[in-house]
Structure 1
Amino acid sequence: MDDPDGYFGETIAAGYDESSAGMFEPGVVEPAVGFLAGLAHGGRALELGIGTGRIALPLAARGVEVHGIDLSRAMIARLRAKPGGDAIPVTIGDFATTTVPATFSVAYLVYNTIANVTTQAGQVACFRTVAAHLEPGGCFVIEVGVPDLRRLPPGQNVLPFRVSPTGWAYDVYDVATQAMSSNYVDVADGRGTFWSVPFRYVWPAELDLMAQLAGLRLRERWDGWTREPFTGESRQHVSVWEKPF
């Protein structure tokens, strides 16, 4: 990927909010913001992959001081164009390794963004970077899907997740390496466009080990932001690791 904005350059940033409209619904955003505000306890919050401000803006509106890290200048331009967006400081860089001169009560990665770090070493580095930014007692929160491998029959490595007459989207898995990609095909006026984003899927227990390597410990794990129990049937989880005093 030669684009300095990574996989979220101008073409994607221009329509990101519209293509992810369901994730901007109040019923999705408000539980996450309430959860994170509670963990901040009046302190500062660090959002890794802040994007267009889906979570950061309403969190800041609750009085939480938010700082963001993001590689994509195009996405940050959309954040800046929104009311209050220019008041949120953002550091441009790879959130797995980029540092800022501050400490935080809570750091968070939402909407599967940890999987945008496509190597295990990079994901471990992300935990260590966050741990260095957390105050004692501070928390690192990740929202991410549970790998959907139970839906893969033997010999198949593709799972469609959206199909319509004008487009389709599907994930491709490599179970030997934990590499995957999400792929999108859209057809308009007889012309097709294709977009593919690589990920590395990661298991809850693997994340716990990464946290341990960074000096963090698991505090709680839920099926979602409203604290439903995490079970063997959960397709996602919200996990909280804390930095000991």
Structure 2
Amino acid sequence: MNTKIDYPEYFARFYDTIYNSLRTDDMEFYLKKISNCSGKILEIGVGTGRLFLKAIERKADIYGIDISKSMTDILKDKLTQVDQSRVEVQDVCCMNLPYRFDLIIAPFRVFSHLMSVEDQLMALRNIYYHLNNNGLFIFDLYVPNPKMIAEGLDHVIDFEGEYEKGKIIRRITSMKADIVNQISTAEMKFEWQENHSWREATWKMSMRFYFRFEVEHLIRLSPFKLLNVFGNFNEKPIDTDDSEMIVVCGKNIK
């Protein structure tokens, strides 16, 4: 994985505004898993702290890594000086942390940023190394939508709202999929009001999409034991109409 990847400043700046609105269904699922864990917890892809801050509020012994310095800088500004030491810029493929964890989570499609099988397996082995025996690793992915893969998106406004009182941020997204390499590339145009005028910037981001049995085979190639694959955050077994794939793995669990 390329450790030089970073989100542009404006993406990190507006991340909370956009995803606190668009991404809410996973919150209670992960917070429940965190609350049920009495040991150390690691969040991979901690970002600006959407989940992490709520876990800290609940007195969880949680740590976080992210590949993006622009995102973790925003998170650290929200933390006490003591808790800032819990967050580091590291790559999941080569992270090296001084602790071992009872629970590791990678919410909101972190594994979609791992393009190659080599990186995916490297990440899984490294996560396994950082887990205690009987520890759990939980991550989620989206289930590929055949219609979306075939047709893509063409300049869809997928978010519009206030980032400050009286100031609007709008995101317009286009997407094309490469079915052979299983990569979708989104072009996101941001338009926002600032200093009595409109500003805009465009950024492209590619993500890997996975199919259910591909994920199961990937886990079996790793040291992990696959425990469950859910189709939503209510822990329902995955089915044809589901759009989420939540994967639960264990270390040395019999």
TM surpasses 0.5: yes
Matches within 5 A, 1:106-125: 106-125=103-122
Matches within 5 A, 1:7-46: 7-23=6-22, 25=24, 28-38=26-36, 40=37, 42-46=38-42
1:131 aligns with 2:128: yes
SS at match of 2:49: coil
Q: Does structure 1 conserve the Cα–Cα contact (< 8 Å) formed by 2:232 and 2:242?
A: no
Q: Which amino acid aligns with 1:14?
A: R
Supply the distance in 2 between the matched residues of 1:106 and 1:206 (Cα, whole angstroms): 24
Q: Does structure 2 conserve the Cα–Cα contact (< 8 Å) formed by 1:47 and 1:69?
A: yes
Note the C-alpha offset of 1:122.
Answer: 0.9
Supply the distance in 1 between the matched residues of 2:81 and 2:47 (Cα, whole angstroms): 11
Q: Does structure 2 conserve the Cα–Cα contact (< 8 Å) formed by 1:144 and 1:238?
A: yes
Query: Structure 1 residues 161, 190: closer, same or farther in 2, change over 3 A?
Result: closer
Supply the distance in 2 between the matched residues of 1:28 and 1:144 (Cα, whole angstroms): 11
Of stretches 51-60 and 87-96 in structure 1, the one that deviates more from structure 2 is 87-96
Q: Which amino acid aligns with 2:75?
A: L
Note the C-alpha offset of 1:115.
Answer: 0.6
1:169 aligns with 2:173: yes
Which residue matches 1:229? 237
SS at match of 1:218: strand
Q: Does structure 1 conserve the Cα–Cα contact (< 8 Å) formed by 2:103 and 2:136?
A: yes
Of stretches 45-54 and 223-232 in structure 1, the one that deviates more from structure 2 is 223-232
How many residues matched? 237
Query: Structure 1 residues 241, 28: closer, same or farther in 2, change over 3 A?
Result: closer
Supply the distance in 2 between the matched residues of 1:46 and 1:37 (Cα, whole angstroms): 13
For structure 2, list consecutive stretches of 5 or more residues without a partner in the other structure: 161-169
Matches within 5 A, 1:1-245: 4=4, 6-23=5-22, 25=24, 28-38=26-36, 40=37, 42-84=38-80, 86-88=82-84, 89-153=86-150, 156=151, 158-160=152-154, 162-163=156-157, 168-187=172-191, 192-245=200-253
Q: What TM-score results when the alignment is normalised by the length of structure 2?
A: 0.82
For structure 1, list consecutive stretches of 5 or more residues without a partner in the other structure: none
Q: Which amino acid aligns with 1:214?
A: S
SS at match of 2:7: coil
Which residue matches 2:164? none
Q: Which amino acid aligns with 2:10?
A: T
Note the C-alpha offset of 1:91.
Answer: 2.6
Q: Which amino acid aligns with 2:40?
A: R
